[in-house]
Amino acid sequence: MTTFDAAVPTAQPSLAARFRLPSGPIQFLGFDKDYWRLWIRGSFLLALTLGIYRFWLTTDTRQFLWSNTEVLGEPLEYTGTARELLIGFLIAVAILIPFYAFIFLLALTQGAIGQLAGVIGFALATILGHYAVFRARRYRLTRTVYRGVRFHQTGSAWLYAIMAVLWWTLVILTLGLAYPIALSRLERFKMRNTWIGNLQGRFEGSAFGLFIRGLFMWLVVIGPLIAALVAFILALDMKLLWELALMADDDAALTRLLQDHPNVAFASAFGIGAITWSMLAGMLLYPVFQAMVLRWWSSGLRFGEMAASSTLRTGEVYFTYLRYIGWSMVFSTIATFVLIAGGAAGGALLWTTGVTQKEWFSDVGSIGAAILGVVIYVAFALGYAAIYQVKVRLGLWRAVANSTGLANPAALETISSVGAPASSVGEGLADALNVGGF
């Protein structure tokens, strides 16, 4: 069994042919309706249990995505359990409570340290967040099994956290220009430490290639913002600005600012135009950007001799988002209609029974209204989340899986088992810090 053809089991009924799925080496065979069922039921239970059900929903979701993804005819397997996630979360809470208490005490300290407590807390939480992301990845990999062989991850999570913070700081300082190099360096670190049994992964996506491909988009979206900023700085007289900053009355200062700087009004108008343009262009180009990064990412993945390649089409990512927006609009319309009809009926009922006139109604009514508000909010939020899951997350997963090709897949046939399951603390931390990924 050295060629790809021989590796595809003949016994497997050709689902790909029946449902006109692409017949590449990686196939996603799951159906939308099963995922819908998972998430609609899960959303109800999430609301009912104030979110405790999320450990089960996350596990079900992963099990669905993994086990429906076939590589060379063999499905991936997710062996993680909800119980592990729950325990990981409880451990994370035990770690984070002293952390929060420390930040709280810091905030009560007099002087500069007290003033900076928020900043210190944010910095520590950011590092901890990246640490958690890397350890959560380790948990997921060690719960991923292919052909009876476990994935695993080596490397220090603290090292990754420090690298990630430094790279992302650079990305912010360069207004996004450093994004390709940051992404490629971090991905290299992650993939170098990723193993299927004894088969080591690596990442060969070129930062420069991504930079060149993305530069045009960057100029279109960020360029006008920079131009507006430069125009604004040129229009200002720094010495006068300092004087105005010392003036206590804001209104007077603004009047004088506009009087003494006729160009400021122009620069401000230009600035508003630039921001509007950037937001519009950003929204329109986001799917293009995401398709580009996904294509670049999956084409850069390597495991030993095996190399991935991607033929992901930009149009497919676009339609994924269009479908999401369409479904969301339908949901909003129906939900709003139900809300208005229900509100009218409920109001009429209250009015006719005369409870609104009662003495106690102002108390009970206000608490009832607040509870109703929460319920409606939760229903909307969970509805959009479920639509996002099915339309965007599942849609993109399927699109990436089906568009990925593998060169030298024979490398997957001769792997030996190495590695043991890792703890779920990282997942718990990521969950508690709200930085969870898949």
- Using CB under 8 A as the binding rule, the residues of this chain from 83 to 102 that contact other proteins are 89, 93, 96-97, 100
Shortest separation between residue 379's beta carbon and other proteins, angstroms: 11
What is the distance between the terminal CA atoms of the chain, rounded to a whole angstrom? 33
Tell the smallest beta-carbon distance from residue 73 to other proteins (Å): 9
Stretch that binds other proteins, among 254-262, 265-273, 283-291, 378-386 (CB under 8 A): 378-386
Query: How many CA atoms lie less than 13 Å away from 204 in the CB half-sphere?
Result: 11
In whole angstroms, the minimum distance from the beta carbon of 231 to other proteins comes to: 27
CB of 392 to other proteins, least distance (A): 14
- Residue among 143, 26, 20 at smallest CA distance from 74: 26
* Residue pointed to by tokens 């006068």: 240
Ramachandran angles phi, psi of 302, nearest 5°: -135, 140
CB 293 to other proteins: min, Å? 25
Residue 132 CB: number of other CB atoms within 10 A? 26
From CA 146, how far away is CA 417, in angstroms rounded?
A: 10
* Window 299-338: contact mask with other proteins (x via CB under 8 A): ----------------------------------------
- Among 165-173, 215-223, 333-341, 359-367, the segment contacting other proteins (CB under 8 A): 359-367
* Matching residue, tokens 């089991």: 9
The stretch among 224-232, 272-280, 331-339, 428-436 that binds other proteins (CB under 8 A) is: 428-436
Out of 3, 110, 352, 357, point to the residue binding other proteins (CB under 8 A).
110
Nearer to other proteins, 417 or 423 (CB): 417
Among 263, 268, 328, 417, binds other proteins (CB under 8 A): 417
User: Among 32, 48, 336, 407, which residue interacts with other proteins (rule: CB under 8 A)?
Assistant: 48
Cα distance between residue 277 and residue 297, in whole Å: 28
Residue 438 engages other proteins in binding (rule: CB under 8 A): no
Q: Which of residues 113-172 bind other proteins (CB under 8 A)?
A: 114, 145-150
Looking at 27-156, list the stretches that DSSP marks H as alpha helix, in order from N- to C-terminal side.
Answer: 32-48, 54-67, 82-108, 112-142
- Separation CA 89–CA 87 (nearest Å): 5
Q: Pick one of 1, 17, 112, 238: the residue that binds other proteins (CB under 8 A).
A: 1
Q: How far is the CB of 340 from other proteins (least distance, A)?
A: 21
Site for other proteins in 188-207 (CB under 8 A): 196-197
3-state per-residue secondary structure call for 281-303 = HHHHHHHHHHHHHHHHHHHCEEE
**Upper half-sphere CA count for residue 142 (Cβ side, 13 Å):** 20
For other proteins, the closer CB: 59 or 404: 59
Least distance between other proteins and beta carbon 384 (Å): 8
Region near other proteins per CB under 8 A, out of 156-164, 217-225, 236-244, 365-373 = 365-373
Does 356 engage in binding with other proteins (CB under 8 A)? no
* Residue closer to other proteins (CB basis): 1 or 234: 1
- Spatial strand order in the sheet of 74-75: 26-28, 69-71, 74-75
Residue in 328, 318, 312 with CA at minimum distance from that of residue 388: 328
Q: What is the largest CA-CA distance in the chain?
A: 83
